[in-house]
Amino acid sequence: MCTMICERAEMEGSAKGRDGWFPLEMANVSYDHPFNAPWEYGLNIDFVNQSQGVGSRVAVELSPQSAKRLAETIMEALKRGEADPQIKVSVL
Amino acid sequence: MYTTEQYEGIIAETITINGTGGDAIHTYLARPMGPGPFPAVILAHHLPGWDELYREFTRKLAHHGYLAISPDLYCREAHGAPEDVAAAVRADGGVSDDQVIGDLDAAAKYIRSLPSSNGKVGIFGTCSGGRHVFLAGCRLDCFDAIVECWGGNVIMSDDQLTDKQPVSPNSYTKDLNAPLLGLFGDLDQSPTPEQVNQHEEELKAAGKDIEFHRYPEAGHGFFYFDRPIYHQSSAVDGWSKMLTFLGKKLA
């Protein structure tokens, strides 16, 4: 709330929280004070399912440099996976 | 000042008060034992929520002879671990300024109504709570002292305004109704030293009773002993200045 910078994206997938796996509903990405990481501001990602309560949350708090590396790494993995004609994403 | 031969005792518990719109909200109340009369301090919690640190701050003020009361400003949003609640509030764009002001007003009315109150009420907040106490000191006429600690977003640009935070708090500077103590770290990024200077200049230009202190080696949240940003000498001096200020203004 100090920066008020928060972007939200709907998610499909699963996350493993304190009580085990739960279906993902949303990713909240903020640039604000982390709760635990040792800097004043960070890139914070909360994978949540609010319909199951605020405790259904998997949190990561990253330095901006780490967040950029993560975003690039995700894009690279996606690029390789989507380029492979043998790989199809489907619900089992 | 406490001396070792003195009796001391405090009572601390969660109670419920009626906040904005009559909503029941949980509130942590810590008070010295005895009939009083005691001055009071309201604590507006910070971004990480209504957490253990703020309960400790509340008890510390009670230990120093204040009726201390800290409302859960996120009470309507959710319940759970304070960090999980705060993360949900953060994702939702925070809580509205109007709602917070109403809750702080309700806390002031409640604490002033206690038979052990001396009728004087101060307010203290850090981070987003620092912003809230400045805003409350301008929009309400019920405080006798304000302690604003590194209030972030007291000065907001137009593109930062939202439906929940529709007005930059410094727009209300001329309406400030009580003496204000401001504590800031020069290494802070929100507020920056430039914003602190602007804030101070605006208050001085409006003829307000203020006392600003800046700590060269401190950043944001230098009172937070549970975090790496804690800065010992600045925190000790800041608490001392705060207790001196409250002692004078709420006697």
pLDDT per residue as tens digits for the range B53-100: 999 999 999 999 999 999 999 999 999 999 999 999 999 999 999 999
Nearest to B200 by CA among B246, B155, B239: B155
Q: What's the pLDDT tens digit per position in B184-226?
A: 999 998 899 999 999 999 999 999 999 999 999 999 999 999 8
Query: What pLDDT does B246 receive?
Result: 98
C-beta atoms of A33 and B47 within 8 A:
yes
- Beta strand segments in B97-187, E: 117-126, 145-149, 180-185
Element (H, E) at B89: helix B82-91
Residue B199 annotated in active site:
no
**Partner residue facing A28 (CB), from B81, B91, B229:** B91
Per-domain residue ranges for chain B? 10-249
Are B40 and B66 in contact by the 8 Å Cβ rule? The answer is yes
Query: What pLDDT does B157 receive?
Result: 93
Q: What's the pLDDT tens digit per position in B125-167?
A: 999 999 999 999 999 999 999 999 999 899 999 999 999 999 9
Query: What pLDDT does A92 receive?
Result: 64
Query: What pLDDT does A91 receive?
Result: 67
Instruction: With cut-offs at 50, 70 and 90, classify the pLDDT of residue B9.
Output: very high
pLDDT at A87 over 90: no
Are B73 and B46 in contact by the 8 Å Cβ rule? The answer is no
C-beta atoms of B90 and A55 within 8 A:
no
* Choices 3.50.30.40, 3.40.50.1370, 3.40.50.1820, 3.40.190.10: CATH for B10-249: 3.40.50.1820
β-strand B67-71 against B24-32: which pairing, if any? antiparallel
Length of chain B: 251
The rounded distance, in Å, linking the Cα atoms of A60 and A73 is: 16
Interface of A with B in 3-42 (CB under 8 A): 3-4, 6, 8, 26, 28, 30, 32-33, 35, 38, 40-41
Q: What per-residue string of b and e applies to A57-86 under the rule 16 or more CB within 10 Å gives b?
A: bbbebbeeeebeeeeeeeeeeeeeeeeeee
B72, B97, B103, B188: which one is catalytic?
B188
**What mean pLDDT do residues A58-85 have?**
96
Which tokens is A63 given? 């330095």
Residue B142 annotated in active site:
no
B193 in A contact zone (CB under 8 Å):
no
B21 in A contact zone (CB under 8 Å):
no
Are B237 and B215 in contact by the 8 Å Cβ rule? The answer is yes
